[in-house]
Amino acid sequence: MFDTKHTLIALVDDKPGVLNRIVSLLRRRSFNIQSLTVGGSEHPGLSRMTVVVAGDSAVVEQVRKQLDKLISVVKVSDITNEDMVARELALIKVKATASTRSEIMQIVDIFRANIVDVALDSLTVEVTGDESKMESLIDLLRRFGIKQINRTGRIALTRGITRD
């Protein structure tokens, strides 16, 4: 029984309380949610949710079935072992002075990230990518002094064939 990181994507009703129903099930089994994102989907009235949890595969599968049973959930899949595209977005506010600003901008360029706000003493960087790219960029920016980070957590879709 090893805990592995699982990515679940769910198509759910866009109604009050739905998030609560889903989180409540995960809480009951003591899952620590590593990230959870919700946003609109291609279906009106339905949202798509990406949940990343660490857990034993058999337990995650049991929870997936229980999630699927919820009336508010149209479909839920564990796409961990599938070919998927996973991205997250981070906003990083980093300290910047006249002398460090250009070096930061070079790093941002290399990562194909964007500067979205400039102030006298800081730059705000917008970056998308997988988790390891986020971590590398954050590591590089750390020595300039990071003031704030806000990350969305993972959103994911399987590649190729369309599916719910």
Partner 1 sequence: MKKTGAQILCEGLTREGVEVIFGILGGAVLSIYDTLPQYPQLRHILVRHEQGAAHAAEGYARVTNKAGVCIATSGPGATNLVTGIADAYMDSVPMVAITGQVARPFIGKDAFQEADITGITLPITKYNYLVTDVADLAKTVKEAFYIAQTGRPGPVLIDIPKDVQQEITEFAYPEKVDLPSYKIISQGHTAQIRRAVKFINKADRPLIIAGRGITISQAYDELKELAEKAQIPVVSTLLGLSSFPGRHILNFGMLGMHGMAYANLAVQTADLIIAIGMRFDDRATANAGGFAPEARIIHIDIDPAEISKNVPADVPIVGDVKAVLKVLNKEIEKADHLEWVSQLEQWKYEHPLVETGQGDKLLPEYVIRQIYEATQGNAIVVTGVGQNQMWAAQYFTYTKPNSFISAGGLGPMGFELPAAIGAQIGHPEETVWCIAGDGGFQMTIQELGTIAQENTAVKIAIINNGYLGMVRQWQELFYQRRYVDTKLRNPDFVKIAEAYDISAIRVKHRDEVVSAINKAMDHSGPFLIDFSVEPEENVYPIVPPGESLARFLEIPKPEVLSK
* Footprint on this chain of partner 1 (rule: CB under 8 A): 12-13, 17, 20-21, 24-25, 28, 58, 62, 65-66, 68-69, 71-74
**Residue keyed to tokens 């006298």:** 120
What minimum distance in Å lies between the beta carbon of 45 and partner 1? Answer: 9
What minimum distance in Å lies between the beta carbon of 101 and partner 1? Answer: 48
What minimum distance in Å lies between the beta carbon of 74 and partner 1? Answer: 4
What minimum distance in Å lies between the beta carbon of 5 and partner 1? Answer: 22
> Cα separation of 72 and 85, whole Å?
25
What minimum distance in Å lies between the beta carbon of 34 and partner 1? Answer: 22
Closer to partner 1 by CB, 7 or 72: give it: 72
Name the packing angle between helices 101-110 and 131-142 (round to 10°).
160
Cβ-based neighbours of 92, under 8 Å, separated by 6 or more: 124, 125, 127, 137, 138, 141, 146, 148, 149
Closer to partner 1 by CB, 42 or 121: give it: 42
How many CA atoms are closer than 13 Å to the CA of 24, on its beta-carbon side?
6
Closer to partner 1 by CB, 126 or 164: give it: 164
CB 154 within 8 Å of CB 87? yes
Cβ-based neighbours of 110, under 8 Å, separated by 6 or more: none
Closer to partner 1 by CB, 16 or 160: give it: 16
Closer to partner 1 by CB, 57 or 128: give it: 57
